[in-house]
Amino acid sequence: MRLSAAPAIVLTCLILSGCASSSGPETVLSPRPSREVTSSVAPPAAPVVSVPGPVPSSDVAMTEASSEPPEELAWAGQVPQPEAFTTMESEAAMPVPMDRPVAMVVPDNPAIDEAPRSRSRVYSHRFRDAKPINFGKRSPRKMAVHGVDVSRWQGNIDWEKLRTQGANFAYIKATDGGDHLDPMFKKNWRRAEQAGLKRGAYHFFYWCRTAGEQADWFIRNVPREANALPPVIDVEYNGESSCKRRLSPERIREKMQVFMDKLERHYGQRPVIYTAPDFYRDNLRNAFPNHPFWLRSVAAHPSKVYPGRKWLFWQYSGSGLSHGVDGRIDLNVFHGSEAEWHRWTAGSST
């Protein structure tokens, strides 16, 4: 049946009026967003833009109502430097990154120091010796980690080649006395690191200068760097030195203690003591039980030359031959396995 236009309009108004009155005081709920949207069709999230002015109350309510914790992302690769998270305040008092948003959730206290460090490769020794010694069953060649010590007398060193020959670490002459710097130290220090060697610096102790002066001179010239090996104090007799003074064992140990304490405070590492058989016999037997020792013994195993002394490094030759160095070079070995070497270097780093 067909209705005229006027009655149809009146009937429509009556129906709409009745629907409005029947709703009563009930609360009208806004529809929930659908959870069936997949990531394959969802648009990329728009970057968050800080807008001046107060945060809308509806946004605050939605944030407080959310019960799902934010997804924490694992660290991928290198931990960002702290500068990447420096913030500045916007007009709305909301922190925003100074550069660009970082696409990761940052823990409150990132354990940067606990991140695993990559281990450097340990090369097997390929050194030759101009004056080889048969050490018997306790030969240093059976040990895992070999290294060298160098000074100006080795000239220009091809550090990359030296490393592949088996030099996994190098102790580099830095200073002696209170005013002498090895002219090759800075170059050797830089090049050894570039070639991937673990390296440390040593000081030749001069008995005619105060221990404090010598410590200050070493600290002035040897940088404090992460991953460097502990500093070394080289104490021995030197017939070519202009200093002919012979101190008592007590005075020698006193001066050494002053020097080592000052270095330990500065570098945060306990210094290693390098010495030779005659000097050790006269001055250091049973002394410094809590310091690591680096012992020179080119004719017999250290246990025979330094009975009862624990050691960290053994200098077993002063006549080593290697590609990368013209002339002879001192050869050394670490007292331990490859795994123990990695643990020690990780623990001794500043």
Mean pLDDT (whole number) for 207-213: 97
What is the arithmetic mean of pLDDT over 97-118?
Answer: 37
Examine residue 174 and state whether it is found in any structural domain, yes or no.
Answer: yes
Question: What mean pLDDT do residues 322-331 have?
Answer: 94
Q: How many CB atoms lie within 10 A of CB 333?
A: 22
How many angstroms separate the CA atoms of 325 and 164, rounded? 12
Residue 250 domain flag: yes
Chain Cα centroid distance, residue 93: 37
**Which residue range is the domain that position 272 belongs to?**
142-348
Strands 329-334 and 313-321: antiparallel
Domain count of the chain? 1
d(CA 247, CA 274) in angstroms, rounded, equals 18
CA-derived radius of gyration, the chain: 36
The CB-side HSE value for 36 (13 A sphere, CA atoms) comes to 1
Residue 147 maps to a domain: yes
Is residue 199 assigned to a domain?
yes
More confident residue, 288 or 40: 288
CATH of the domain at 281: 3.20.20.80
pLDDT over 70 (residue 84): no
% residues pLDDT > 90 (the chain)? 61
d(CA 318, CA 331): 6
Q: What is the mean pLDDT of residues 264-270?
A: 98
In a domain, 21, yes or no: no
| pLDDT for the residue numbered 58 | 39
| pLDDT at 92 (0 to 100) | 38
* Average pLDDT value for residue range 251-257: 98
pLDDT of residue 77: 34
Q: Could you identify the residue written with the tokens 């021995």?
A: 236
| Longest CA pairwise span in the chain (Å) | 133
For residues 93 and 55, what is the distance between their CA atoms, to the nearest angstrom?
10
Residue 75: C-alpha distances to residues 69, 101, 106 (Å): 18, 16, 9
In a domain, 133, yes or no: no
Residue 240 domain-assigned (yes or no):
yes
What is this structure's pTM?
0.67
Domain membership flag for residue 176: yes
Residues with active-site annotation: 236
Residue 302 pLDDT grade (very low, low, confident, very high; cuts 50, 70, 90): very high
Rounded to the nearest integer, the mean pLDDT of the chain is 77
